[in-house]
Copies of this chain bind each other. A is one copy, B any other.
């Protein structure tokens, strides 16, 4: 083992997502302040919450609090779980054509009788701060400037701000969901010669049909492991290369022996932190940064829409 590896073992960094999120939110707050000083109205975010799912309510609540703290005007629009797809899309269209609205998000999951895909595609791509519209997905795949799903953006921002090298490195992404695992892998393998800054890593995208022994082989050679599966304890200490960076995007609610509930990730944190060079906790890792990236996307939408309007008026 070389000195670098020994040093890593001695200095495992726990990547503090809360601190990074605060940093980002402070930066955004400052920028929005300047933006408003230059005569613009505050950025405006509308979050649509369908039904009464407690987790969804919590998430939307966190987004509202973050908006408040950075200077984004926000509103949670609550709709009954009985709403038809057509009525929901009609509501979205009203927000699309409302010039005072910059960002629109529809909190998922939606009731079963509503097609999430149709709803995501109903949001104006220019206001699509969740990055779920097919046009934004296509633009991301082509490494064009686009709205990128906030969790993926959070992982990338965490990597950058923690100075984790990606160029020519081996990355294992566990989970191929369209909103998390897949966009993360698309950004990580991307070519720096494209419109968006590339990360230039070699990416292995693993999923439920990757045989466990094969996942181990890939994980052991990985410089960075990103797990976004919701499988508790998927990433174990013996699977991690000493000094690797381990990013845990999993969030699962489990019962403690005392009958309480707590949030846990995909990674066996206590064991893995003894091997890894850097690791994110759950909670307090990627989660808080995700909300900060939503603020970033909302401000981006506001700037873009203002620029478009200025061009139209010329």
Complex-state Cα separation, A144 to B142, whole angstroms: 17
Inter-chain contacts of A200 with B (CB < 8 A): 207, 209
Q: Closest Cβ of chain B: how far from A201's Cβ, in Å?
A: 8
Q: How far does the Cβ of A39 sit from chain B's closest Cβ, in whole Å?
A: 33
Copies of the chain in the assembly: 2
Number of interface residues of A (CB under 8 A): 39
Interface string of A48-72 (1 = CB under 8 A from B): 0000000000000000000000000
B-contact bits for A235-275, CB 8 A (1 contact / 0 none) = 00000000000000000000000000000000000000000
Question: Which of B136, B142, B204, B206 touches A178 (beta carbons < 8 Å)?
Answer: B142
* A117–B137 CB distance below 8 A: no
**Mask for A158-202, Cβ within 8 A of B = 1, else 0?**
000000000110100000101000100110011100000000111
Roughly how many angstroms separate A180 CA and B210 CA in the complex, as a whole number? 23
Q: Are B141 and A178 in contact (CB under 8 A)?
A: yes
B residues within 8 A CB of A135?
134-135, 138
Nearest B-chain residue to A190, judged by Cβ? B176
User: A104 an interface residue at 8 Å Cβ cutoff?
Assistant: no
Q: A191 to B203, alpha carbons, bound, how many Å?
A: 18
**A204:B202 contact, CB within 8 angstroms:** yes
A206 in contact with B211 (CB, 8 Å): no
What B residues does A201 contact at CB under 8 A? 209
Contact B209 A202 (CB under 8 A): yes
Closest to A137 in B: B138
Contacts of A176 in B (CB 8 A): 189-191
- Give 18 A-B pairs besides A141-B182, A201-B209 with Cβ atoms closer than 8 angstroms: A134-B138, A134-B139, A135-B138, A137-B137, A137-B138, A137-B141, A137-B142, A138-B138, A138-B141, A140-B141, A142-B178, A143-B178, A167-B209, A168-B210, A176-B189, A200-B207, A204-B218, A217-B221
Point out residues on A near B: beta carbons under 8 Å. Answer: 117, 133-144, 167-168, 170, 176, 178, 182, 185-186, 189-191, 200-207, 209-211, 214, 217-218, 221
Which 4 pairs from chain A and chain B are nearest by CB?
A138-B138, A134-B138, A137-B138, A202-B210
